[in-house]
Amino acid sequence: MNSWEEMFQQQPIVSKMLTNSIKKKRISHAYLLYGDKGTGKYALAQLVAKSIFCKNKEGYEPCGTCLDCKRINSGNHPDLHIIHPDGASIKTDQIAHLKKEFTYTGLESNKKVYIIEHADKMTDNAANRLLKFLEEPSQETTAVLLTENSQSLLSTIRSRCQILALMPLNSKQLEQKLIETGITEGNARILTNFTRNLDEALDKSKDTWFAQARKLVVQLVEMLQNNRDEVPIFVHTQWMAHFKEKTQLQEGLDLLLVWFRDVIHYHMDDSSSIVFLHQMEKLEQASMYWSIQDITKHLQTIMEAKRKLEQNVHPQLVIEQLTLQIQR
């Protein structure tokens, strides 16, 4: 993300606040940006730095092509310091080193910016050292702390910063990020139905349990159409063996909901909404077997099954009833 214009699409509120203070030349001494992975924290910090250092900027928008901008992009600007965890934590000597660097005046201007990634990973000693640093701000220094978990930061540090909360990714943005990591469009769509958090989605994409759960859902639906006699034994031996915990079973039913909604999308020729993109043939078969009215009824039945699970009705009983009702 190289420009505020782009950033406004993803993070309109925070972008507005930051560009306003840049316009008015009232940049804070310290910002704390918090939000999930993938929400643009680092890109925002870089944009703040570019708006401070770029000599060709138009209004608050940096040019993106001058030497300052290029060096910020590559992380090599002499007056921009970036700290990230050394192993599991950010250590005292990293903060001490930063302070020492800041006793020299800026190499190219008198301004200096530092970015601390995963600021919640500071050891207590490191955090206390940083706190002293934040307590004696110099006119020309800007700190940008980034975290996914602002509550783990010392409250004394938080109170020294202007805190800006980033919005979570919407499903389209998350889908795009997942595709960028090499995940197929179909898988990305399924994952975004279960989380809006990039890390969780990436974990789930590698989760063999979740992959098997999806297969079982497709198998169950096929069996409900073609081999009704085998459904009880399938539920008993395979379904219940895989969805052992209540939360797992809820997730199985969520997948079933997604599947039946897909069949409706298929009926309505709305392929852009289909989640199970890998299963178009099976969706077609299901759409020939069940009408939209049938499926609307099935969706209600599944929702009802989910409620019964919440009310602690015996799981196997819930699923047996559900499959019987879908077969009616």
Q: Write the CB contacts of 200 (distance below 8 Å, at least 6 apart in sequence).
A: none
69 binds Zn ion (CB under 5 A): yes
Stretch that binds Zn ion, among 3-11, 47-55, 230-238, 262-270 (CB under 5 A): 47-55
179 binds Zn ion (CB under 5 A): no
By C-beta, is 86 or 108 nearer to Zn ion?
A: 108
CB of 45 to Zn ion, least distance (A): 16
CA pair distance 150, 38, nearest whole angstrom = 16
CA pair distance 59, 51, nearest whole angstrom = 9
66 binds Zn ion (CB under 5 A): yes
CB-count burial class (<10 Å; 0-12, 13-18, 19+) for 244: exposed
Other Cβ atoms within 10 Å of 210 Cβ, number: 18
Other Cβ atoms within 10 Å of 47 Cβ, number: 27
Q: Residue for token digits 């201007």?
A: 109
CB of 13 to Zn ion, least distance (A): 25
CB of 72 to Zn ion, least distance (A): 8
Stretch that binds Zn ion, among 11-19, 38-46, 56-64, 115-123 (CB under 5 A): 56-64
By C-beta, is 108 or 203 nearer to Zn ion?
A: 108
By C-beta, is 65 or 271 nearer to Zn ion?
A: 65
CA pair distance 41, 35, nearest whole angstrom = 7
2 binds Zn ion (CB under 5 A): no
CB 197 within 8 A of CB 261: no
Q: Which of 1, 27, 43, 63 is close enough to bind Zn ion by CB under 5 A?
A: 63
By C-beta, is 63 or 131 nearer to Zn ion?
A: 63
Q: Which of 30, 54, 115, 157 is close enough to bind Zn ion by CB under 5 A?
A: 54
By C-beta, is 56 or 105 nearer to Zn ion?
A: 56
Stretch that binds Zn ion, among 55-63, 185-193, 202-210, 225-233 (CB under 5 A): 55-63
The residue of the chain with the least Cβ separation from Zn ion equals 54
CB of 56 to Zn ion, least distance (A): 5
| N-term to C-term CA, the chain | 53
By C-beta, is 62 or 252 nearer to Zn ion?
A: 62
Sequence-ordered alpha helix ranges (H) in the chain: 4-10, 12-23, 41-53, 67-73, 92-103, 124-135, 155-158, 171-180, 185-192, 198-205, 208-226, 231-234, 240-242, 246-267, 280-289, 292-310, 315-327
User: CA-based diameter of the chain, in Å?
Assistant: 80
CB of 112 to Zn ion, least distance (A): 17
258's tokens = 């997604």
By C-beta, is 2 or 138 nearer to Zn ion?
A: 2
164 binds Zn ion (CB under 5 A): no
226: left (phi over 0), alpha (psi -120 to 50) or beta: alpha
CB of 22 to Zn ion, least distance (A): 14
CB of 24 to Zn ion, least distance (A): 20
Q: Which of 38, 40, 62, 252 is close enough to bind Zn ion by CB under 5 A?
A: 62
CB of 50 to Zn ion, least distance (A): 6
By C-beta, is 49 or 190 nearer to Zn ion?
A: 49
User: Shortest CA distance to 141 belongs to which of 79, 210, 192, 219?
Assistant: 79
* Phi/psi at 184 (5° precision): -70, 160
CA pair distance 328, 325, nearest whole angstrom = 5
CB of 33 to Zn ion, least distance (A): 21
By C-beta, is 60 or 133 nearer to Zn ion?
A: 60
Kindly list the residues in this chain that would bind Zn ion in the complex (CB under 5 A): 54, 56, 62-63, 66, 69
